[in-house]
Amino acid sequence: MQEHIHINETTGLVFRREAGKLVAVLTKIFGVHNLQLAEDVVQDTLLRALETWRLQGIPQHPTGWLFRVAKNKAIDIIRRNRQQAVYAAAIDPLLHSEYSLTTVIDNLLCENHITDDQLRMMFTCCHPGLSIEAQVALILKTLCGLSVAEIAKAFITSVDTVEKRLYRARLLFREQKIAFEIPDNTQLKERLDGVLAAIYFIFNEGYLAASHSSLIRQDLLQESIRLATLLTVHPQTKDPRVPALLALICFNSSRSAARLDGNGAMLLLHEQDRRRWDQALISRGIAYLNAATDCDTVSTYHLQAMIACEHCCAKDFAATNWNNILSCYNLLYQINPSPVIALNHAIALGEQYGPAAAIAAIHAIPGQEVLEKYYLYHATLGEYHHRMGEAAIAVRYLRKAISLTQSAAEATLLEAKIKNIESLPQKHSNE
C-alpha cells in the first residue's frame, strides 16, 4: 500500500511538471483546433504511467518515458485518422505521409523546441477573444496540469462553470482557426497583458489560496515562477514588466517557510522569523528588479515588487521603510485607482502614523460598497479599532471578516484574534 502511495505521489509530481510541456508540443502537432485531443493524449499517458509504474517501478528517466509514450500515442492516432483528420497546417502534409511522420514528430518532441512551444501555448491561451477567467483556466489546465476541480476551487466557482469556459475556449479555437504562435509586434502587447495577468493570478492563488486546505500552494508558486521565467529568455517577450512581475513573485515566495507556525497557523509579517526567509530567492528578486528598472517604464508590477523588496530588505519589522512603501502606493494608486490599493495604502499609513490615521483613510476610500464584500477591509478595521482600545467595534468587524473569507487559515487567525481581544480587560464605553 505504501509503495502504491509513493508511486502515485511521484507520478503526480512528475506529471504536474511535464504535462504542460506535453500539451504544448502535442498542440503544435495536432493544431490548436484539436486542443482537446492533445489533452486526451496527455491524460492517457498519465493513466498508462500509473498502471505500468505500479507493476514495474518508476523508470530511471520518468520524463523520457512520458514523452516516448505520448509520442507513440500521437503517431497511432495520426495513422488511425489519416484519411479524415486535419492537423497543424504547417506540418499536416508531412503527418499524412508514412515516410515523414515519425521523423517529424521526433523532431518536434526535441527538448530544444519545448520552451518555445510553451510560450506559444501561453499566448494561444491568452487570445483576446477570451475572458481573463477563461485565459487563466486554460493556462492552469494545459500548462500547469491542474484538474478542472482544482481550477474551480481557485476561482471559487463550480466545476460546471469551469467546464463551460474551457469548452467555449476550445470552440473559439476551432471556429476561428487560431494559430499556435507568439503574435507579431502589433498584437504582442495586448496578448502579453493577458499572459502577465494570468501568471499573476496563478501566483496570487499560490501565495494565498482562496479555497484550499493549504494556505500556501507551493505547486502554483513554482508554476508562476516557471512561466514568468520562460518569458524572460525569449527576445520577443523582453518587456520590463516581465522581470518586474518575476521579482514580485520571488520576493513574496521567499517568505513562504515563515508564514505558518509549527501547527500550520498563519503568521503575519511582524510575527515571522526572518531567518527562515529564502535569501537566494530574495537575491534573485533583487536581480530581476534591477533588470526591470533599467528603463523608463513603471508598471503596477514594478511598484508592487518595490514594496515587496522593502519588506524583504528590512532587518526586522520595526526597520521597515514605510515612507518608501507609502510613496510606492501613492504611485500605484495613480496608475490603478482601485479601492483595494487604497486599502493597502491605508494599512501602510496605519503602520507609519498610527491606527487613527488608518481608520480615517479607510473611511475616506471611494467605492466603499466594493470593499464591504472584502474580508480584508473588515479585518483591517477590526485590527486598528483593537489598537485604539475599542474592543466591541473591533470584534464586530472581525466577525464580519470571518463570514467573508474563504480561507480556513485566515478564519482561524481572525478567531484567535477575537479570543485574545475578549480575554483582555475591557474599557467601559458609552457606545
Report pLDDT for 22.
87
How far apart CA 276 and CA 257 sit, in angstroms, is 6
Report pLDDT for 251.
97
Q: What is the pLDDT averaged over residues 359-387?
A: 93
Report pLDDT for 300.
95
300 within 8 A of 244, measured Cβ to Cβ: no
pLDDT > 90? residue 354? yes
Q: Among 152-161, 296-305, 406-415, whose mean pLDDT is lowest? A: 152-161
pLDDT > 50? residue 431? no
Q: List the domain boundaries for the chain.
A: 1-109, 113-238, 373-431
CA atoms within 13 A on the CB side of 396: 5
The answer for 261, left when phi > 0, alpha when psi is -120 to 50, beta otherwise, is beta
How far apart CA 359 and CA 371 sit, in angstroms, is 14
Confidence of residue 390 (pLDDT cuts 50, 70, 90): very high
How far apart CA 430 and CA 46 sit, in angstroms, is 66
Report pLDDT for 210.
60
Give the residue among 250, 244, 221, 219 at the shortest CA–CA distance from 231. 244
The tens digit of pLDDT for each residue in 41-85 reads 988 998 888 888 888 888 888 888 888 898 889 888 888 887 677
Instruction: Please list, in sequence order, all residues whose beta carbon lies within 8 angstroms of the beta carbon of residue 98, skipping any fewer than 6 positions away.
Output: 79
Report pLDDT for 4.
53
**DSSP-derived secondary structure for 57-105:** ---SSHHHHHHHHHHHHHHHHHHHTTTT----TTTHHHHT-HHHHHHHH
The answer for 367, left when phi > 0, alpha when psi is -120 to 50, beta otherwise, is left
What's the length of the chain?
Answer: 431
pLDDT > 90? residue 33? no
Report pLDDT for 211.
54
User: What is the pLDDT of the chain when averaged over all its residues?
Assistant: 86
Share of the chain above pLDDT 90, in %: 39
The tens digit of pLDDT for each residue in 206-265 reads 888 765 556 788 888 988 998 899 898 888 888 999 999 999 999 999 999 999 888 888
Confidence of residue 429 (pLDDT cuts 50, 70, 90): very low
Report pLDDT for 118.
82
Q: What is the pLDDT averaged over residues 394-408?
A: 91
Q: Among 86-100, 142-156, 242-256, 261-275, whose mean pLDDT is lowest? A: 86-100
Instruction: Please list, in sequence order, all residues whose beta carbon lies within 8 angstroms of the beta carbon of residue 60, skipping any fewer than 6 positions away.
Output: none
Per-residue DSSP letter, 405:
-
**Dihedral angle of Cα 319, 323, 326, 331, to the nearest 10 degrees:** -130
pLDDT > 70? residue 5? no
Report pLDDT for 349.
96
Per-residue DSSP letter, 319:
G
Q: Among 136-145, 203-212, 394-403, whose mean pLDDT is lowest? A: 203-212
How far apart CA 350 and CA 297 sit, in angstroms, is 29
Share of the chain above pLDDT 70, in %: 91
In three-state form (DSSP H/G/I as H, E/B as E, the rest C), the secondary structure along 186-200 is: HHHHHHHHHHHHHHH
Please give the helix or strand (H or E) that residue 333 lies within, else none: helix 322-335
pLDDT > 60? residue 425? yes
Burial of 214 (0-12, 13-18, 19+ CB in 10 A): middle
Residue type, 340: V
